[in-house]
Amino acid sequence: MRTPFLILLAVILNFSLYSQSTQKPPLHGKNWMAITGKPLSAEAGAMIFQKGGNAIDAACAMLAAGCTMWDVLSWGGETQALIYNPKTGKVIAINALGIAPTGATSAFYKSKGYDFPPEYGPLAAVTPGTPGGLCVMLAEYGTMSLKEVLEPALQMAEGYPIEEQTAASIEKNKKLIKDWPYSKKVFLPHAGNEREAPEAGEIFVQKDLLNTIQKMVEAEQDALKKGKNRKDAIYAAYDRFYKGDIAQEFVRGCREQGGLITKEDMAKWKVMIEEPLKTNYKGIDVYKLQQWSQGPMMLQALNILENFDLKSMGYNSSRYINTISQAMQLAFADRDFYYGDPYFSKDQPMKGLLSKEYAKERAKLIDPKKNNPNPGPGDPYPFEGKKNPFDKYFKERGYPVSVSPVDENYMERLLRGTTSIEAADKEGWVVSVTPSGGWIPACIAGHTGIGMSQRLQSFVLDSSYNPFNVVEPGKRPRVTLTPSLAMKDDKPFLSFAVQGGDTQDQNLLQCFLNMVEFGMTVQEATEAANINTDQLWLSLGGTKSDDRKPKPGSLLINSNTPDWIKKELTQMGYKLKFEQRTSGPINAIYFDWKHGTLWGGSSNHGEDYGIGW
């Protein structure tokens, strides 16, 4: 048994890991805050704020700029958001996730030899969601015109100095890009040379995308000239994208290259404004998107962890890491089996999954001395007074795990990124966005300049994996994208989101606990060393079952973790991997009600950047 002195020493050592000065300074502002994945995108938000826009206007400008910069997404991807409306005092959710197209069935993909839908190309595409999501957010909650908000993106489409990260990604993926003629035209301006992608700092021009964005602005401005109000004029742009000539060219270009999306798929899709899910952790209400995202997984983990005295364990002690790792694994096991599009199934057991009583039962499965390598999904139905209709799947399948090594391909799939957007203003508007899809290597649809989404790969083809997430035309896949908002005393406490795939809610959970349990500032919390478990079903990448199976005990920890903690974790059954940076990239805004100011945090992990005033 460790002596009290050693316990005290462990707490001091662990505290020292985050009490040092941060690598990036915190942002401070009293009027507004804009944080996102690229410096130029953050500047687009600042430009809108400086012109008098609110947080929604600024977020839409950052979204449009990020899509135009291919910040691990494009205009053909999907947008998810949580918005705090100070006029109503309510948090609402934006579901701008595309749907599986006509013909996208399990039988279709299985006939091509897939266990999961493909990672890239036209057959990986759901319908575009981001243009609609941007228009709906702006029309319903913004103050400015589409023309004003899209001005930075228009300038960028005319030509902007491309940054090294995107230029390198294009060059790295040029072999795939060459398979798609419209992508090749946009991304490889130096075709035939040794380096075919743009160089860092080179002016990157996207004439087709510029034309598409201009068409949306033209539709809005024509509607205004005809006497339409601001809101209806923005929806005129929405209609031109999904029902007009933009949709026609998008569909033509998609189908020419072997895709399935039809004009009817585009026209019938719509953005959903929803009630978010939430839980209360020690007096703080934490909001997440519904179960078409992985967001409720973090809520489940918080409910489980509420049964433990985390603070007394010490930040990133072996006891703490073992506890939160197993809590996340239990929540992931439920996510992997029960989450899916609620519009296709009304009997998902979300009430049971998010109940405190269910969490107490799941907490009993956490072994304080060693990792549980095969927890499997639980049975939440009794906590709703129902019988589980899926017992047969557990008996047939068990909870299969993979013995294949965690290699470079696996890690790329686990960490496959997106971007995040955080904005807040002095009027009280707060928005947290995790947009994604259409990342490089993207298949561009015809002469639209728009990269198609790759999100269809997050479906399963076999109901024994997840009966709620089997691909069907018109259905939304269960995605990893998961913005977050926390409220305390009926006021915003923290707005936060992160890049990544299955790591997103792992990073966000720990960022939240860093502040709530260990008293870190928002910048300290975004930079602090995290852990990432691989004991889950991958949501992205790999078309064969073994590509995605859970890796029991596989755990990523920070390279600076003390040797004796590494040794203890190994003795607990963990297979450790090490990285210098394990914190995100997380972007966050903390609301300092004592001083009436905003604190911005942006991790030191990537190119994320913020501006406040």
Report pLDDT digits (tens) over 468-507.
999 999 999 999 999 999 999 999 999 999 988 999 999 9
pLDDT score at 12:
41
What φ, ψ does residue 470 adopt, rounded to 5°? Answer: -80, 135
Mean pLDDT of 141-163: 98
The residue ranking higher by pLDDT, 431 or 401, is 431
Is residue 65 within 8 Å of 156, Cβ to Cβ?
A: yes
Q: Which of 114, 476, 36, 543 is nearest to 294 (CA)?
A: 476
Pairing of the two strands 272-274 and 27-29:
unpaired
CA–CA gap between residue 343 and residue 329 (Å, rounded): 26
pLDDT at 3 over 50: no
391 band by pLDDT with thresholds 50, 70 and 90: confident
Mean pLDDT lowest among 373-382, 406-415, 478-487, 591-600: 406-415
Exposed e or buried b for every residue in 339-349, given b needs 16+ CB within 10 A?
bbbbeeeeebb
Is residue 60 within 8 Å of 81, Cβ to Cβ?
A: no
pLDDT score at 21:
82
355 band by pLDDT with thresholds 50, 70 and 90: very high
Mapped onto helix, strand or coil, the DSSP state of residue 512 is: helix
Burial class (CB in 10 A: 0-12, 13-18, 19+), 563: exposed
Mean pLDDT of 427-454: 97
CA–CA gap between residue 485 and residue 93 (Å, rounded): 10
pLDDT score at 16:
44
pLDDT tens sequence across 177-186:
999 999 999 9
pLDDT score at 416:
61
Average pLDDT, the chain: 93
Q: Which of 294, 322, 212 is nearest to 477 (CA)?
A: 294
What φ, ψ does residue 277 adopt, rounded to 5°? Answer: -95, 155
CA–CA gap between residue 359 and residue 345 (Å, rounded): 23
pLDDT score at 402:
54
Q: Which of 131, 445, 94, 127 is nearest to 268 (CA)?
A: 127
Q: What percent of the chain has pLDDT over 90?
A: 85
Q: How many alpha carbons fall within 13 Å on the CB side of residue 147?
A: 12
pLDDT score at 461:
95
**Torsion sign over Cα 487, 587, 414, 204:** positive
CA–CA gap between residue 551 and residue 402 (Å, rounded): 6
pLDDT at 18 over 60: no
Q: What percent of the chain has pLDDT over 70?
A: 93
pLDDT score at 19:
45
Mean pLDDT of 283-311: 98
pLDDT score at 408:
66
What φ, ψ does residue 405 adopt, rounded to 5°? Answer: -70, 155
CA–CA gap between residue 47 and residue 50 (Å, rounded): 5
How is the chain split into domains, by residue range?
A: 28-79+97-269+421-458
Residue 558 forms beta bridges with which residues? 579
CA–CA gap between residue 49 and residue 32 (Å, rounded): 7
Is residue 527 within 8 Å of 583, Cβ to Cβ?
A: yes
CA–CA gap between residue 465 and residue 544 (Å, rounded): 13
The residue ranking higher by pLDDT, 133 or 582, is 133
Mean pLDDT of 122-133: 98
Q: Hey, what amino acid is at 231?
A: K
pLDDT score at 398:
52
Q: Report the run of H or E that residue 354 belongs to, with start and end.
A: none
pLDDT tens sequence across 377-387:
999 999 999 99
pLDDT at 250 over 60: yes
374 band by pLDDT with thresholds 50, 70 and 90: confident
Q: Which of 399, 292, 308, 285 is nearest to 359 (CA)?
A: 308
Q: Which of 133, 155, 96 is nearest to 234 (CA)?
A: 133
Distances (CA, A) of 609 to 38, 178, 270, 393: 6, 32, 31, 45
* Lookup: tokens for 275: 């009630």
Is residue 586 within 8 Å of 513, Cβ to Cβ?
A: no
Sheet holding 532-533, edge to edge: 532-533, 554-558, 575-579
Across 323-460, where does the E strand assignment appear? 421-425, 430-433
CA–CA gap between residue 549 and residue 551 (Å, rounded): 7
pLDDT score at 182:
98
pLDDT tens sequence across 566-584:
999 999 999 999 998 888 7
pLDDT score at 9:
42
pLDDT tens sequence across 508-565:
999 999 999 999 999 999 999 999 999 999 999 887 888 888 999 999 999 999 999 9
Mean pLDDT of 267-290: 98
Query: How many degrees, rounded to 5, is the angle at CA 494 between CA 493 and CA 496?
Result: 165
pLDDT tens sequence across 76-119:
999 999 999 999 999 999 999 999 999 999 999 999 999 999 99
pLDDT tens sequence across 181-240:
999 999 999 999 999 999 999 999 999 999 999 999 999 999 999 999 999 999 999 999
CA–CA gap between residue 330 and residue 375 (Å, rounded): 6
